[in-house]
Amino acid sequence: MWASIKETVKTVVYALLIAGVFRTFLFQPFWIPSGSMKETLLVGDFLFVNKMAYGYSYASCPSIIIPAVGLDVDAEDFCGVFKGGNDRLFGSEPERGDVVVFRHPVTGRDFIKRLIGMPGDTVQIVDGKIILNGEEVPQSDASLFTEPFVRRGQPPNFPVCSNGTVPIGEDCIKQRLTETLPNGVSYSVLNVGDRPLDNTGIFTVPEGQYFFMGDNRDNSSDSRRPQRSGGVGFVPYEDIVGRADRIMFSSSGRSLLAFWTWRSDRYFMAIE
């Protein structure tokens, strides 16, 4: 009996060690809880973050957050002793246009946004368009983006629509634009209308830090708003977790386990 218990404990310990190595050095699972990256990423998308893409820092250590049991242990709790140098082991620089997961520099919570500004860049938003190093990033009109007006995400929220507040379940419409960065990376961005963050001052990205924006421009907390005002601000190199490369599957329901709500067109879809 005791031998059986011992073997069971050993199996569990080995499994936890393997899972810990997998999450620390290779890939971290990530569920999209909000609509800030529509239409590139939808609420309910499940993906793995490639931690090998940019090397390793304290932020590469796993976070374990289970609100139901009051468990909240993040990367800084595990590996905070390594924080502060703003460097990385086997580090490489992310590329403009990458979709990146990073730790919020103040709260420590994981965010996912698109990398727009590199160290030394100047970034300004004028009438909803990015002015990057003095040059306007081109946008071209695409077809309208339509989704049902229902609550989604954690916490559940209704989407913001350019056609106003519509009845629950009816079409919520946004303008869709194709934006192309100087290095040729193109992706869709969504626009609702005139919003305060459609016009900003000029941001100069410090060395060793980055400027991020959500693709759903009028529903994103990102580097356009400073940390003291509840935004993200500039993100240090060491706070980057990894690159989002591919969606594994996607659920349109309230739970990832509700397999009957999985979106059939998003299995193993590349993130661009």
Active site residues: 36, 113
Give, as one character, the DSSP assignment of residue 238.
G
Residue 73 identity: V
Neighbours of 87 (CB within 10 A): 13
Tell me the residue length of the chain: 272
Single out the residue of 24, 42, 23, 22 nearest to residue 32, CA to CA.
42
Q: Which two tokens stand for residue 44?
A: 């309910």
Angle at 40 between CA 171 and CA 95, to 5 degrees: 155
Percent of the chain that is helix, strand, coil (3-state, to 5)? 20, 35, 45
DSSP codes of every residue in 147-167: EE---BTTTTBPPP-TT-S--
In angstroms, the CA 46 to CA 30 distance is 6
Give, as one character, the DSSP assignment of residue 262.
B
Partnered with residue 135 across adjacent β-strands are: 132
In angstroms, the CA 79 to CA 96 distance is 28
Q: What is the largest CA-CA distance in the chain?
A: 73
Do 244 and 46 contact (CB within 8 A), yes or no?
no
* Alpha-carbon Rg for the chain in angstroms: 20
Residue 139 identity: Q
